[in-house]
């Protein structure tokens, strides 16, 4: 009887030790934080108001940086350019007319210079009167004022031309902006506009994200915070199959400076009252990571 009791006691002690070892192993292998993957998305907006003539993308499509993804109607801008080009021709014609007037007056001044010299010589010899000399001098002053006035018109026309040139450059720049290019290599997450619809200046028509790497946003307690720093490597664990996990390497890219309550959508009511710190872990995407999927991290010793 004593032997049976002793054997039973040994069995219970072994069971307790086994459970303790199993519990320790589970704690050792437990993840340090949990969260979901997210991407740094970007809204693509139109800088020009108008009608969308084309939208060369669909949700789920991968876009290359610099590829034309949409076009805004350029007809109103082209018509404005045509109008300004007509004004340019008018201003150039007026400038040519001013140059002709200046050339005529310059020739008249040259002739008057000769008369002024001749009359001055005749006045010395008493063959001309002082009034004749005064008339020539007065006519010379009139010609000088005329030339000054016409040259001011030429300066004004040059200024008008510069304004038109600037306006033309602005319109051509707007036409270039009508051809909307993808700002990054990314995946189209949402589409807000279709070809034929009107888009306002600054209005977004799609949302894209670079999914070549994703952020695993997790929440850690104040006790865990001292074990993390920017640039630190951590193990990232995701589901591979129903029974197996996949381990990847990630880098801590951001740590919140203030604590917050645990987000309600991912924790129980008991956990929601705890204060935690948000942490982002940057993980290269080999194609297995998707936005919104769950993930875990484990600190590397």
227-276 per-position pLDDT tens digit? 889 999 999 999 887 778 899 999 999 999 888 877 755 555 556 557 88
140-197 per-position pLDDT tens digit? 787 778 877 888 888 888 899 999 999 999 999 999 999 999 999 999 999 999 999 9
Strands (E), 58-127: 62-63, 68-72
The answer to whether the beta carbons of residues 208 and 57 sit under 8 Å apart is no
Closest CA to 68 of 59, 52, 57, 76: 57
Q: Find the radius of gyration of the CA atoms of the chain.
A: 42
Q: What value does the mean pLDDT take over residues 47-57?
A: 93
Structure token pair of residue 127: 């063959």
pLDDT confidence of residue 23: 39
Termini Cα distance of the chain: 51
Pick 177 or 22 by higher pLDDT: 177
- The residue assigned the tokens 């997210």 is 38
Q: How far apart are CA 95 and CA 104, in angstroms?
A: 14
Q: How far apart are CA 72 and CA 50, in angstroms?
A: 6
The answer to whether the beta carbons of residues 200 and 49 sit under 8 Å apart is yes
pLDDT confidence of residue 97: 85
Q: Number of C-alpha atoms within 13 angstroms, CB side, residue 217?
A: 13
Closest CA to 10 of 291, 2, 152: 2
In the sheet with 41-45, reading across from the earlier edge strand, the strands are: 41-45, 204-209, 186-191, 62-63
**SS3 track for 114-131:** HHHHHHHHHHHHCCCCHH
The answer to whether the beta carbons of residues 295 and 235 sit under 8 Å apart is no
What SS3 class is residue 33? strand
* DSSP output for 259-294: -EEPPGGGS-HHHHTSEEEEEEEEEE--S---TT-E
Q: What percentage of the chain reaches a pLDDT higher than 90?
A: 51
- The residue assigned the tokens 């307690």 is 221
Q: How far apart are CA 187 and CA 60, in angstroms?
A: 6
Q: What percentage of the chain reaches a pLDDT higher than 70?
A: 86
What SS3 class is residue 144? helix
């Amino acid at each position: 009887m004593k032997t049976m009791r002793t054997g039973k006691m040994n069995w219970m002690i072994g069971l307790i030790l086994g459970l303790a070892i199993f519990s320790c192993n589970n704690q050792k292998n437990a993840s340090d934080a949990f969260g979901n993957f997210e991407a740094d998305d970007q809204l693509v907006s139109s800088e020009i108001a108008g009608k969308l003539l084309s939208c060369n993308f669909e949700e789920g499509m991968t876009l290359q940086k610099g590829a034309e993804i949409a076009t805004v109607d350029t007809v109103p801008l082209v018509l404005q350019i045509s109008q300004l080009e007509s004004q340019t021709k008018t201003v150039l014609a007026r400038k040519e007319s001013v140059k002709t007037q200046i050339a005529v007056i310059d020739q008249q001044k040259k002739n008057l210079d000769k008369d002024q010299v001749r009359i001055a010589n005749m006045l010395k010899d008493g063959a001309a009167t002082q009034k004749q000399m005064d008339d020539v001098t007065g006519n010379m002053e009139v010609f000088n004022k005329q030339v000054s006035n016409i040259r001011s018109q030429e300066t004004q026309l040059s200024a008008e031309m510069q304004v038109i040139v600037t306006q033309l450059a602005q319109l051509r720049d707007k036409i270039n902006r009508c051809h909307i290019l993808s700002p990054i290599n990314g995946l189209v997450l949402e589409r807000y506009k279709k070809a034929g619809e009107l888009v306002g200046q600054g209005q977004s028509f799609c949302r894209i994200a670079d999914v070549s790497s994703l952020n695993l946003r997790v929440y850690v307690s104040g006790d865990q915070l001292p074990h993390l720093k920017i640039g630190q490597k951590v193990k990232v664990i995701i589901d591979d199959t129903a029974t197996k996990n996949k381990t990847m390497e990630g880098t801590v890219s951001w740590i919140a400076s203030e604590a917050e309550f645990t987000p309600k959508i991912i924790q129980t009511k008991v956990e929601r009252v705890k204060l935690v710190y948000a942490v982002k872990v940057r993980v290269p995407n080999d194609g297995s990571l998707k936005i919104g999927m769950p993930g875990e991290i484990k600190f590397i010793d």
